[in-house]
């Protein structure tokens, strides 16, 4: 699926290096059986997804007390939840997201102080301090 509106392509050979798609071309009979290829014929490949409105510093809980606590929580309390939300997004194919802000600007701080363990693989855009 390339977004052009044409029917999905079949028997496509993707050349990938360092996590980037270098080329997309038709696969030929001589390509079958190559040891350097991975067969994804039972899969549907999509480009990375973008989530245009999230709040990574706030959970989706309906528990009023938990939500009230989150509004007053310090960055140290929320940092792990932000990392978990970003990991969950990445596992769902989201490679970029736009955060709508939070009460204390924790998502913005997280963006400027990402963990050093490689968690910063999602392009994070944030409004900073949320109005409510």
pLDDT recorded at residue 33: 75
pLDDT digits (tens, 9 = 90+) for 62-94: 999 998 898 889 999 999 999 999 999 999 989
pLDDT recorded at residue 56: 92
Q: Report yes or no: 119 and 127 within 8 Å, Cβ to Cβ.
A: no
C-alpha distances out from residue 9 to 6, 17, 22, 44, 130, Å: 8, 21, 17, 10, 43
Integer Cα distance of 94 and 98 in angstroms: 11
Task: Give residue 118's pLDDT band: very low, low, confident or very high (50, 70, 90).
Answer: low
Q: In whole angstroms, what separates CA 80 from the centre of its chain?
A: 16
pLDDT recorded at residue 132: 55
- The mean pLDDT of 89-103, rounded to a whole number, is 90
């Amino acid at each position: 699926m390339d977004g052009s509106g044409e029917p999905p392509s079949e028997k496509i050979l993707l050349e990938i290096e360092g996590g980037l798609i270098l080329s997309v071309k038709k696969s030929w009979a001589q390509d079958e059986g190559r040891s350097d290829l991975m067969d994804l014929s039972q899969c549907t490949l999509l480009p990375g997804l973008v989530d245009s409105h999230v709040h990574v510093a706030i959970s989706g809980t309906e528990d009023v007390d938990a939500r009230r606590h989150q509004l007053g929580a310090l960055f140290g309390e929320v940092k792990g939840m932000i990392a978990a939300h970003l990991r969950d997004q990445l596992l769902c194919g989201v490679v970029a997201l736009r955060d709508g802000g939070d009460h204390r600007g924790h998502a913005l701080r997280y963006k400027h102080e990402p963990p050093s363990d490689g968690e910063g693989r999602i392009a994070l855009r944030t409004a900073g301090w949320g109005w409510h």
